[in-house]
Amino acid sequence: GAVVSQHPSWVICKSGTSVKIECRSLDFQATTMFWYRQFPKQSLMLMATSNEGSKATYEQGVEKDKFLINHASLTLSTLTVTSAHPEDSSFYICSAKHDTGRMDTQYFGPGTRLTVL
């Protein structure tokens, strides 16, 4: 149980285009999902917290207009990288919080490798 999928697993795009990444909780409902960015050989950096039916909360330094997050249902959150540039190339990971009433746990998707040419 507690499986999270992420699509696509990798994407290559041209500079200036937009890319959408989907995060789905497959066997549980998630009122809260999280988006992370991970640079090579580094830890996960939280970008934003996504709550179903409300606006996402962005961490300091993360551009809201560049990284659009939509959490339209209890099983789906999307991250759209708008007008992507080479510096946006990275590994993006989502997680979904499994609400059990006690010790809610984040389960992670497999990640998306974005390369912007």
Partner 1 sequence: AQTVTQSQPEMSVQEAETVTLSCTYDTSESDYYLFWYKQPPSRQMILVIRQEAYKQQNATENRFSVNFQKAAKSFSLKISDSQLGDAAMYFCACTNSGAGSYQLTFGKGTKLSVIP
The 52-91 site mask, x for binding partner 1 (CB under 8 A), equals -----x---------------------------------x
Instruction: State which of positions 15-34 bind partner 1 (CB under 8 A).
Output: 32, 34
Contact (Cβ atoms closer than 8 angstroms) between residue 107 and residue 1: no
Q: What are the φ/ψ torsions at residue 39 (nearest 5 degrees)?
A: -90, 155
To the nearest whole angstrom, how small is the minimum distance from the Cβ of residue 103 to partner 1?
A: 5
Supply 106's token pair. 């984040």
To the nearest whole angstrom, how small is the minimum distance from the Cβ of residue 47 to partner 1?
A: 11
- Going by C-alpha positions, the residue among 59, 94, 101 that lies closest to residue 75 is 94
Q: What are the φ/ψ torsions at residue 86 (nearest 5 degrees)?
A: -50, -30
- Name the residues that contact partner 1, by CB under 8 A: 32, 34, 38, 42-44, 46, 49, 51, 57, 91, 93, 95, 97, 102-108, 110-111
